[in-house]
């Protein structure tokens, strides 16, 4: 008799629920940008959704730089066996 339990993310219902929760939190944070007053030094930083957009662009840039860095420092699979 098997007593193995699955992980909670193995169920597609739980993944869908988590996905919806993340989207709801993101939308709520974006809407909070309408009421939060920030004392920004630059005028463009006061635009609606600027910080979310900036964070998204920074994450995409980080992934692209990491891909390039991987090509630069990657070693052959048998590097330590030689």
- The answer as to whether 3 is a domain residue is no
Report the predicted TM-score, pTM, of the whole model to 2 decimal places. 0.65
Q: Contact at 8 Å (CB) between 50 and 44?
A: yes
Report the C-alpha gap between 41 and 72 in whole angstroms: 38
> Which pLDDT band, with edges at 50, 70 and 90, does 79 fall under?
confident
> How many domains are there within the chain?
1
pLDDT at position 3 is: 57
Query: For residue range 9-53, what is the model confidence (pLDDT) as tens digits?
Result: 888 999 999 999 999 999 999 899 889 888 889 988 888 989 889
**pLDDT reading at 2 higher than 60:** no
| Structure tokens belonging to residue 18 | 């988590």
pLDDT at position 81 is: 83
Instruction: Give the structural domain span for 30.
Output: 8-81
- The answer as to whether 1 is a domain residue is no
- The answer as to whether 61 is a domain residue is yes
């Amino acid at each position: 008799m098997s007593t193995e339990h699955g992980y909670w993310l193995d169920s597609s219902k739980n993944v869908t629920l988590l996905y919806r929760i993340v989207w709801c939190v993101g939308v709520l944070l974006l809407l909070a940008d309408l009421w939060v007053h920030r004392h920004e030094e630059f005028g463009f930083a006061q635009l609606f959704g600027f910080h979310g957009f900036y964070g998204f662009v920074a994450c995409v840039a980080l992934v692209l730089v990491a891909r390039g860095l991987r090509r630069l420092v990657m070693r052959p699979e048998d590097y330590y066996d030689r």
